[in-house]
Chains A and B, each alone.
Chain A
């Protein structure tokens, strides 16, 4: 079976669109222009970039979660799994997600709430939740 190595996209230009919520730390107002339309000036607060807020989890926790995810999804050794990785982007379906949660519960000796179990979508989410649970356990 022939393998598809890349899709060639001639028209799609990646510099074209700005991701909303782009982080510009200095200016207090900026014009965002997308596809030729200009929005009225937005005032950006000095927002802490997302990854800083999310860095509640310890690196060791994140690493352990990455390992469990790699194992559950049977990802090849070289694959990059980081805090920002979304489970679905790694090929996990809802059954995989729940199995990952079970693996995490076993590994860390915690119990995840039903409401959260199926809703966790990134490695970081999982790691944050784990560290929170561990903290409240030891508190």
Chain B
């Protein structure tokens, strides 16, 4: 586990040299852009953000529209969540500075034709700026932002403890595909069934969000997400070393016209409390038989306060999909 807390403080001390040193760490730790097939997954836990000063600081970097939207919400928790979501997106994207420091407040956003939020990268003079894609998801206890370069991305997070008001199977029968209903029906234990349901839900959400055409374009019933066991190891591997991994695929894939791309998934158990699904578009020409994993770079953050790289040794486990957790860089 590498904590970049010390590094962040060191960097802000360097930046503060010659200036007023009254405020402690004020800078956002800059990071390198995600590489191809790499996903940066940033998340913040609302319960860890208590300081009113900090929340006001986040409010300051929002656009007037965003502020107005937050004031229109009812309930302090809901307001705080919305505020953190916007602050997370702005501060995260601002870290990917190339030649100059970016003020999070200066970022502009727009929506695509279907309403999916996108970055409106206004620094058009510098044509070397890569296309940054992002997607947000939140629950009441975790807010996440996934970032890639050059690949549409969708993410979804859900609490493992989530309870449905309806019966799991009734819900699935209403909204999931026949194959998925089949899978869930075969699970006898209601608790396990609910867990599997939640995993499928997050994967389906992530897929639709990655497609970026809205839910009405891809109703959940029209596609199937499959989580298949994949046994790792070959004939020389001793039986007790063979580890089970799970492949995740979607069918039919939406890109019927464009056979050269496909969608790759990652499913995580995050901090023991959440499932997180990630979906990105891959160019299958590059990947041949699709055996190159997504590199997932996981970072827990409190913007302006601290960042922490979460590696596979911490409480984050890849539980499905061709994905692996990488160390930060």
Measured CB to CB, the residues of A under 8 A from B are: 1-5, 7-9, 11-12, 14, 16-17, 71-72, 79-80, 89-91, 93-95, 98-99, 102-103, 105, 114-119
By secondary structure, the A interface counts as loop
Chain A residues closer than 8 Å to B42, beta-carbon distance: none
Please determine whether A7 and B56 come into contact, CB atoms closer than 8 angstroms.
yes
Chain B residues closer than 8 Å to A79, beta-carbon distance: 74-75
With both chains docked as a complex, state the minimum distance between the C-beta of B54 and any C-beta of chain A, in angstroms: 10
Chain B's closest residue to A112 (CB) is: B174
Q: CB of B252 within 8 A of chain A?
A: no
Chain B residues closer than 8 Å to A4, beta-carbon distance: 50, 52, 55, 76, 80
From B47, B68, B74, B201, A1 is in contact (CB under 8 Å) with: B47
From B68, B175, B222, A98 is in contact (CB under 8 Å) with: B175
Known: A103-B166, A114-B220. 6 other contacts (CB 8 A): A9-B59, A12-B59, A91-B75, A99-B165, A103-B165, A119-B215
Q: CB of B64 within 8 A of chain A?
A: yes
With both chains docked as a complex, state the minimum distance between the C-beta of A86 and any C-beta of chain B, in angstroms: 9
Interchain CA distance A2-B225 in the complex, whole Å = 42
Please determine whether B74 and A3 come into contact, CB atoms closer than 8 angstroms.
no
Please determine whether B166 and A102 come into contact, CB atoms closer than 8 angstroms.
yes
Please determine whether A91 and B77 come into contact, CB atoms closer than 8 angstroms.
yes
The contact sample of 8 A-B pairs, CB cut-off 8 A, is A1-B50, A91-B77, A94-B215, A99-B165, A99-B171, A105-B174, A114-B220, A118-B220
Interchain CA distance A90-B73 in the complex, whole Å = 7
By secondary structure, the B interface counts as helix
With both chains docked as a complex, state the minimum distance between the C-beta of B280 and any C-beta of chain A, in angstroms: 20
Of B52, B139, B170, B214, chain A has the most CB atoms within 10 Å of the CB of B52
Interchain CA distance A12-B72 in the complex, whole Å = 14
A interface footprint on B35-48 (CB within 8 Å = 1, 0 otherwise) = 00000000000010
Please determine whether B55 and A95 come into contact, CB atoms closer than 8 angstroms.
no
A99-B165, A99-B171, A115-B219 known; A7 and B74 CB under 8 Å? no
With both chains docked as a complex, state the minimum distance between the C-beta of A136 and any C-beta of chain B, in angstroms: 19
Chain A residues closer than 8 Å to B162, beta-carbon distance: 95
Chain A residues closer than 8 Å to B64, beta-carbon distance: 12, 16-17
Please determine whether B72 and A119 come into contact, CB atoms closer than 8 angstroms.
no
Q: CB of B312 within 8 A of chain A?
A: no
Interchain CA distance A127-B76 in the complex, whole Å = 27
Q: Which 6 A-B pairs have the closest CB atoms?
A: A114-B219, A118-B215, A115-B216, A91-B78, A119-B216, A89-B73
Please determine whether A93 and B139 come into contact, CB atoms closer than 8 angstroms.
yes
Interchain CA distance A14-B71 in the complex, whole Å = 10
Chain A's closest residue to B162 (CB) is: A95
Please determine whether A117 and B165 come into contact, CB atoms closer than 8 angstroms.
no
Q: CB of B295 within 8 A of chain A?
A: no
Interchain CA distance A118-B77 in the complex, whole Å = 24
Chain A residues closer than 8 Å to B75, beta-carbon distance: 79, 90-91
Chain B residues 201 to 240 lying within 8 A of chain A, measured CB to CB, are: 201, 205, 214-216, 219-222
Interchain CA distance A29-B68 in the complex, whole Å = 26
Chain B residues closer than 8 Å to A71, beta-carbon distance: 165
Chain B residues closer than 8 Å to A14, beta-carbon distance: 68, 71
With both chains docked as a complex, state the minimum distance between the C-beta of B326 and any C-beta of chain A, in angstroms: 29
With both chains docked as a complex, state the minimum distance between the C-beta of B108 and any C-beta of chain A, in angstroms: 15
Interchain CA distance A7-B73 in the complex, whole Å = 13
Q: CB of B188 within 8 A of chain A?
A: no
Chain B residues closer than 8 Å to A95, beta-carbon distance: 158, 162, 164, 201
